[in-house]
Amino acid sequence: MSRFNLSEWAIRNRSLVIFLMIGVVVAGTVSFLKLGRAEDPVFTIRTMVVQAQWPGATLDETLQQVTERIERTLQEVPNLDTLRSYTVPGTTVIFVDLVGSAQGRTVTDTWYEVRKKVADMRHTLPQGVLGPGFNDDFGDTFGIIYGFTADGFTHRELRNYVEDVRSRLLTVPDVSKIELLGEQDERIHIDLSLDTLAGLGVDPGMLVAAMQAQNAVRPAGVLRTGREALSLQVSGSFESERDILDVNFAVGGRMLRLRELAEVRRDFADPPQPLFRVNGQPAIGLAIAMRPGGDILSLGKNISAEMARISADLPLGIQAHLVADQARTVDDAVSDFITSLWQAILIVLVVSFLALGARAGTVVAITIPLTLAIVFPVMGLMSIDLQRVSLGALIIALALLVDDALTTVDAMTRRLTAGDRMEVAAVYAYKALAMAMLSGTLVTIAGFVPIGFAQSSAGEYTFSIFAVVGIALIASWLVAMVFAPLLGTMLLRPPKSGQREEPGPVLRLYRRALGLAIRARGLTIATTLALFVLSITALGLVPRQFFPPSDRVELLVDLRLPQNASIHATHEAVARLDALLAKEPGIARWSSYVGRGAIRFYLPLNVQLANPFVSQAVVVTNDIAARERLQAHLETLLAEEFPNAVARVYPLELGPPVGWPLQYRVMGPDPAEVREIALKLAQTVGTSPEARRINFDWMESARKLRVQIDQDEARRLGLSSAAVASLLNATVSGTVVTSVRDGIYLIDVLARDARGQTLSVETLRSLPMPLPNGRSVPLNQLATFDYTQDQPLVWRRNRVPTLTVQADVAPGVLPETVIAALSPRIADLSTSLPSGYRIELGGIAEESAKSRASVFAVVPIMTLLVLTVLMVELGSFQRLLMVLSVVPLGLIGVVLALLASGQPLGFVAILGVLALVGMIAKNAVILIQQIEAERRAGLGVMEAVIEASGSRFRPIMLTAASTVLGLIPIAFTVFWGAMAFAIMGGLLVASLLTLVFLPTLYVAWFGSREEVRERKAAPFPPSAV
């Protein structure tokens, strides 16, 4: 009983197969139009933020009583990778980072565990701790941002309009959430004179109690009279400043109103919340996030349409500025890549027509859209959008998927030339090569397995390479076995009677060269091995890189003042920066964030923590050339204008966010010793001429005014430390006593000493301290004031104080190069550290090592799959070893291509090198199977090798040419360039060696000495020349 032949079935069911082809094209077209568009693939930000506050606590108290307790609990969380905490006096922020293998539901379940465990230990925290609060939306991307500026309107009036706009935009389909940027909460200040109150014998607490009692919201009941129910409402709640001024209370037997003792004014919170500026003007922003699974292009169109209607309703003087437009960025990026895809398709078609002729080329040409038409619906089912990685994967797959169709058509034309009938020739490829082609396809897919199953953010980012290429290769085999034979019967024509296809000059030259290589097989094998060893040696000359910078036009400008700087000082610095940017050419627009970093408008953005001394500007330049010019100019300009600040100018990153390229962590139990080591480490890093802007994530100490209470005197006067702290807080910062309900806003009412903004240490010394008996004494009677130095903040990593030495690198220098040069000196310093202290490498090097480790961890699985498929197909250890001997030779071409192009061996290039394993093995498997088929037909070893190699020469070289030329459209892109050159060089050289080295090795392995002697004495058969 003969085996089932898929090609034969297709020819017998001609009408059904044609119907399937039409259906596939229609389904593929519809799916392509419906596929989502994105700039980059979505990957999970496996970080949750846990935050707690303990007002009034010192740094050490917050560390020991809040941070330490919460971190001990969080270390019990499953799937935990790292705990990073940031502690300032009274506040702790803890980042919970999960391992890269945590995916989907696992991440959600882990966040539930975090909430549950922290809630269970909440009672162990000191009294007065606020929170902890949780934020597991840390990875939300706000791709569309509008900024609103006002001329002739107050901030409150502008905010009212912006709140209305926000309400309208929330109704737009696919909008998930909208956050306000730069909004300032109002405060109502009650400025009291403590001296006056003390003279009248008025206790400030009595005023507070009177206001709280009048402004309280309490139920007054429901009065039912007959058929009617009347809700009772008691007046007295505050609706404006006038209501507060009219509060009365009894003093010394008479009634006084608050207006007689205090001034009441409405102002904004001081210090202010983080500020937002657009093109140098104060603004309020709206950052819009899309719901998961939404279409960013549709969202962009809908938002634009709604904003056009909103802008028409805004009063003159209020302007809406588009600050970030992810929809347009995605549209441009996808359009560019689709253009590259069509260019690659055109290149492959031209190669096919030139190599195969019009009819055979047409068959191959038709199989390309048929294959893609199968790929697009499957991509939709797998929720893979058209984005940077998936479109690049399509271009890579395009060159590979042609191979199966080429092999089928080439086999068909050869059988027609040999005199077979059309139907017999059409099914020959399936009979002779289907299983070898399928094995080669599976081996090629297996080469991409490390990409698909790498348990890291980088692996998740590049997953669609594996998915798309795998889908395309399976689809290409099906198309080659089902559609291509039928198309061949419709388009190909048998040669005229007596017409014999003669080998072309290129094929004749190849056969002669192969004959020479086989005769001098010792030299051929030795030369190949020498080239391989040389390539391994030269690999050290190839620069290393994790991910390249983004090709977007944005430029980030970080400006970090000394860590004890106020947000007012930061705002002044940003205003100066805005003035500088306004004079620079090549800038389309910019936005500035004061007291915080930019909101995550781009998924791989390294988000800066909110801090008074931090600011970040997002500068949108006209093009990449303008971006590069501006970056170089601003780096010099900011160094001159802001000598006491840490200024950094850099483009957006690709891949997982990293931050400063050079990062070294100093870890140890004593923060003071950690600082000393970090200073030495910074000096070591400074010995590299390529290191720039060396800084620390925390280092500077800050002055603190310590109020030392004489506890004996305080008790004698009936006072306590808590009473003194409350008085100082009320005097300097103010105490929230109640709130005013004003529309949608709830405005805090603060009572404080009228001298709060002009107080000095001397006035604090004489501050009247109320006593329980109604009298008062100056504060210096029971307290002394001393200046001390203290750390304003401390970072910890896995509960260990950690100080990071950070640096940039010189333009044109890769961070990996600097790290490698510094490695011996850092190692020497590490060996001299006290016990318990260590230096860890962070930044790009750490993330790159994690990503590579996640990929290489899957390599054994890839190897097992490849070996299994090869063994099943070849059925011989000898033939298996021969295939494996060819696979590493692709490294020769990889190294040569990377060195010639100047491309680094980055993470994506490494993925390309691994993918070459399957590509090279596929060619080797089919060639060996072809040799075995020729030997079964009765040819000797030499004749079989020559015939088989000649028959595989055109498909192998045509596939290599299609791949090399098809990758040209992405070879000079930022993201794909290194991978494209690695595949181009590796596959081209490996293809040549497959056609020369592998046949030579086969003859050396299987040819008998007698046969070798006969071949040396006799001329080659006619077909060999």
Locate 290 and state its tokens. Answer: 């899309």
Query: Across the strands, what pairs with 777?
Result: 769
Mean pLDDT along residues 467-485: 91
Check residue 1024 and give its pLDDT.
42
Alpha carbon 988 to its chain's center: 32
DSSP for 617-672, please give it: EEEEESSHHHHHHHHHHHHHHHHHH-TTSEEEEEEPBSSS---SSEEEEEE-S-HH
Between CA 692 and CA 662 the distance in angstroms is: 10
Q: What is the largest CA-CA distance in the chain?
A: 134
Locate 223 and state its tokens. Answer: 């009065």
Q: Where are the alpha helices (DSSP H) in 448-566?
A: 449-453, 457-461, 463-478, 484-491, 505-519, 521-538
Q: Which residue has the higher pLDDT, 421 or 594?
A: 594
One-letter amino acid at 860 equals P
Nearest to 93 by CA among 51, 142, 131: 51
Q: Over 60: is that where the pLDDT of 352 sits?
A: yes
Q: Over 60: is that where the pLDDT of 21 sits?
A: yes
Q: Over 70: is that where the pLDDT of 191 sits?
A: yes
Band the pLDDT of 1022: cuts 50, 70, 90: very low
CATH 3.40.1160.10 fits 6-34+357-494+505-546+852-1024, yes or no: no
Check residue 942 and give its pLDDT.
85
Check residue 91 and give its pLDDT.
93
Most confident of 426-430, 992-996, 1020-1024: 992-996
* 38 touches 386 (CB < 8 A): yes
Check residue 222 and give its pLDDT.
77
Check residue 936 and give its pLDDT.
83
Mean pLDDT along residues 422-451: 83
* 890 touches 989 (CB < 8 A): yes
Q: Over 90: is that where the pLDDT of 148 sits?
A: yes
Q: Is 723 exposed, middle or buried (0-12, 13-18, 19+ CB in 10 A)?
A: middle
Band the pLDDT of 118: cuts 50, 70, 90: very high
Between CA 406 and CA 367 the distance in angstroms is: 10
pLDDT digit string, tens, across residues 728-759: 877 777 788 888 888 888 888 888 777 655 66
Percent of the chain with pLDDT over 70: 95
Mean pLDDT along residues 845-870: 85
Mean pLDDT along residues 826-832: 92
Half-sphere exposure at residue 1014, Cβ-oriented, CA atoms within 13 angstroms: 10
Would you list the domain boundaries of the chain? 6-34+357-494+505-546+852-1024, 47-135, 203-217+234-260+702-790, 669-701+799-836
Q: Over 60: is that where the pLDDT of 1012 sits?
A: no
Q: What is the pTM of this model?
A: 0.83
Q: Over 50: is that where the pLDDT of 1025 sits?
A: no
Check residue 789 and give its pLDDT.
77
Band the pLDDT of 835: cuts 50, 70, 90: very high
Locate 258 and state its tokens. Answer: 């608050």
User: ∠ CA(261), CA(264), CA(268), 5° rounding?
Assistant: 145
Q: What 3-state class would DSSP assign to 136?
A: coil
Q: How are the residues of the chain apportioned to helix, strand and coil, as percentages rounded to the nearest 5? A: 55, 20, 25
Check residue 591 and give its pLDDT.
96
Check residue 700 and give its pLDDT.
78
Mean pLDDT along residues 637-649: 92
Least confident of 203-207, 648-652, 886-890: 203-207
Q: Over 50: is that where the pLDDT of 271 sits?
A: yes
Check residue 309 and give its pLDDT.
94
Band the pLDDT of 51: cuts 50, 70, 90: very high
Least confident of 244-258, 347-361, 498-512, 537-551: 498-512
Check residue 1 and give its pLDDT.
40
Least confident of 130-134, 368-372, 403-407: 403-407
Check residue 1010 and give its pLDDT.
43
Q: Over 60: is that where the pLDDT of 1011 sits?
A: no
Q: Over 50: is that where the pLDDT of 537 sits?
A: yes
Least confident of 73-82, 143-152, 343-352: 343-352
Average pLDDT, the chain: 86
Q: Over 50: is that where the pLDDT of 249 sits?
A: yes
Place of tokens 């690999």: 539
Band the pLDDT of 218: cuts 50, 70, 90: low
Query: Across the strands, what pairs with 618?
Result: 556, 591
Q: What 3-state class would DSSP assign to 221?
A: coil
Q: What 3-state class would DSSP assign to 749?
A: strand
Band the pLDDT of 1009: cuts 50, 70, 90: very low
The verdict on whether omega for the bond into residue 661 sits within 30 degrees of 0, i.e. cis, is no
Least confident of 133-137, 181-185, 700-704, 843-847: 700-704
Q: What 3-state class would DSSP assign to 187?
A: strand
Band the pLDDT of 1016: cuts 50, 70, 90: low
Q: Over 80: is that where the pLDDT of 139 sits?
A: no
Q: Is 139 exposed, middle or buried (0-12, 13-18, 19+ CB in 10 A)?
A: middle
One-letter amino acid at 83 equals L
Q: What 3-state class would DSSP assign to 593?
A: strand
Check residue 775 and give its pLDDT.
79
Band the pLDDT of 106: cuts 50, 70, 90: confident
Nearest to 880 by CA among 915, 925, 922: 925
Number of H helices, E strands in the chain: 36, 30
Nearest to 983 by CA among 927, 919, 931: 919
DSSP for 251-312, please give it: ETTEEEEGGGTEEEEEEE-SSPPPEEEETTEEEEEEEEEEPTT--HHHHHHHHHHHHHHHHH
Least confident of 53-57, 435-439, 615-619: 435-439
Fold (topology level) of 47-135: Alpha-Beta Plaits (3.30.70)
Alpha carbon 589 to its chain's center: 24
Q: What 3-state class would DSSP assign to 842?
A: strand
203-217+234-260+702-790: which CATH architecture?
A: 2-Layer Sandwich (3.30)
Per-position b or e across 763-799, b if 16+ CB within 10 A of its CB: ebeebbbbeeeeebbebeebbeeeeeeebbbbbbbee
Band the pLDDT of 510: cuts 50, 70, 90: confident
Percent of the chain with pLDDT over 90: 36
Check residue 933 and give its pLDDT.
83
* 906 touches 542 (CB < 8 A): no
Between CA 915 and CA 446 the distance in angstroms is: 8
Radius of gyration of the chain (CA): 37
Per-position b or e across 628-667, b if 16+ CB within 10 A of its CB: eebbeebbebbeebbeebbbbbbbbbbbbbbbbbbbbbbb
Least confident of 483-487, 611-615, 622-626, 908-912: 908-912
Between CA 239 and CA 887 the distance in angstroms is: 80
Between CA 213 and CA 404 the distance in angstroms is: 84
Q: Where are the alpha helices (DSSP H) in 170-295?
A: 194-200, 204-215, 241-245
Place of tokens 């799959």: 865
Band the pLDDT of 866: cuts 50, 70, 90: confident
Mean pLDDT along residues 145-156: 93
Check residue 1023 and give its pLDDT.
44
